[in-house]
Amino acid sequence: MKVIDSPSPNQNLRPEGVKPRLVVIHTTAGDDEGGLSWLRDPKSRVSAHYLVLRNGAIHRLVDVSRRAWHAGLSEWQGVPNVNDYSIGIELVSRYDQRVTEAQYAAAGWLCSIFEREFGIGPEDVVGHYHVSPGRKTDPWYSFEWGRLFEAMDGGQVADHRPGRRRLPVRPQRAALVLRPLLWSPPLPGPGAAPESPVVRRVLAEEAVEVPLGEQRFVARGLQRLRQRVPHAARGAMR
């Protein structure tokens, strides 16, 4: 894919010795022209490493060796200042729009490069609302993580929502289909049993309906979910 260099002044050096180990997906609140203009405006004090337009065109705003200003007040797995160690990808999409097929393909292609160069796997590709819960809601709850990860794996992006099959859930591989239940606000507190019937079925190790494009991500999500919910609570759900 072609990458268009559109430098933004809103950047600085990463802390010494720090390399990217996380990708943060964002969505803008405007259109192509407005998003590109805003992220390159020195008055905005915001940027991202990449901006993906509605047609899938990719603009590189900040080199990944440098620190873009995309996450703001943020934390991931107990480590604050996510801008220091992350790569930010902005997708042009308002809250009332769905991300386009071309955007999933482009973002997945970028993530595949970061996986090869930095070892950033699917479990380390998150949304803005994961690192700034309660403060941010992008990339919106309509974002289809399975489609992004399928594109990241080099697969053909397709809408798998109509296709379902039942499968047993076991903690073997990265499972991010459950990501909205695990990390999106509101999160269950320590020892609190999630209310979602899907979560209850997963914890009881029943077969669950999983979008075809997201099957390979189920197991890791289950593993993380079990870490959040105590064994006693799981037993009560059986």
Rounded Cα–Cα distance for residues 166 and 116 (Å): 32
Alpha helices in 141-189 (DSSP H): 145-152, 179-182
How many other CB atoms sit within 10 Å of the CB of residue 75?
Answer: 14
Specify whether 214 is catalytic: no
Rounded Cα–Cα distance for residues 170 and 186 (Å): 25
Rounded Cα–Cα distance for residues 217 and 223 (Å): 11
CA nearest 121: which of 38, 40, 235, 20?
20
Please give the torsion angle defined by the CA atoms of residues 54, 57, 58 and 61, in that order, rounded to the nearest 10 degrees. Answer: -80
How many other CB atoms sit within 10 Å of the CB of residue 115?
Answer: 17
CA nearest 128: which of 11, 27, 234?
27
Active-site residue identified among 90, 123, 144, 150: 90
Give the catalytic positions in this structure: 90
